[in-house]
């Protein structure tokens, strides 16, 4: 997946500066957009995506438009998939949520690019995950290893597993914790990419993020 993150160079402040007694507290809302290229060359082409920016309408109808007809999105609900199909300019389930930190699988009938527009989430961020399978992603538009993105290997137990979908091979690359480290290497995520997480115990992907 080729993802181009273009955050506004001159960070836009919405409610710019707030002063508090004996100290100055500054609130800066950084907005921008992320162009996510979605692969697709037939009915068998899949990709795992995520919404990297927060909006007032984190739903399929509010986030994703212009997909090729009969593009399908699969959102895992804990036991199976909720399925939405895009045709003739609309999703049949536009109410499905896709909040930052969540993820989904897309099966596209042709290549296309979706532009996510919204605000960079900042401050203390919390992204809980259950025991067993779930699809998760970084809550901020940042690429890097899981450790760099705030998900340390120390949070996991031996044999906890991450499955990253490889769009080139159309298969999963599998990473497993063994003796406190990821094997065969530490997984990394691109901006707007999600992954399957399979831990033995529930936990939370927490980090504090600030745009410098």
Q: Could you report the per-residue pLDDT of 148-157, keeping only the tens digit for each?
A: 999 999 999 9
Cα–Cα distance for residue pair 99/96, rounded to 1 Å: 10
What 171-178 contacts at long range (C-beta under 8 Å, 24+ apart), as own/partner pairs, is: 172/196, 177/153
The structural domains of the chain, with segments of one domain joined by +, span 119-209
Mean pLDDT is lowest, of 40-44, 137-141, 197-201, for: 40-44
Q: What is the mean pLDDT of the chain?
A: 88
Q: 33 pairs with which residues across the strands? A: 6, 117
pLDDT tens string 156-178 = 999 999 999 999 999 999 999 99
Q: Is the pLDDT of residue 63 over 60?
A: yes
Is 154 strand, coil or helix? helix
Closest among 107, 108, 1, 92 to 52, alpha carbons compared: 1
Tokens of 92: 């049949």
Whole-prediction pTM? 0.87
């Amino acid at each position: 997946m080729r993802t181009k993150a273009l955050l506004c160079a001159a960070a836009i402040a919405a409610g710019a500066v707030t002063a508090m007694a004996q100290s100055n507290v500054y609130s800066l809302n950084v907005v921008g957009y992320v162009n996510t290229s979605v692969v697709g060359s037939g009915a068998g082409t899949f990709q795992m995506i995520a919404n990297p920016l927060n909006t007032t309408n984190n739903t399929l109808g509010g986030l994703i438009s212009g997909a090729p007809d009969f593009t399908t999105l699969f959102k895992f609900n804990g036991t199976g998939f909720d399925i939405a199909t895009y045709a003739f300019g609309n999703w049949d389930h536009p109410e499905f949520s896709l909040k930052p930190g969540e993820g989904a699988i897309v099966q596209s009938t042709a290549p296309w690019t979706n532009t996510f527009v919204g605000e960079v989430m900042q401050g203390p961020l919390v992204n809980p995950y259950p025991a067993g399978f779930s699809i998760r992603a970084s809550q901020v538009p940042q690429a890097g290893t899981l450790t760099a993105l705030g998900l340390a290997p120390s949070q996991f137990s031996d044999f906890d597993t991450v499955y990253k979908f490889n769009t080139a091979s159309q298969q999963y690359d599998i990473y497993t914790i063994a003796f406190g480290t990821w094997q065969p290497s530490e997984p990394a995520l691109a901006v707007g990419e999600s992954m399957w997480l399979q831990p033995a115990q529930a936990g939370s992907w927490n980090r504090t993020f600030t745009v410098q």
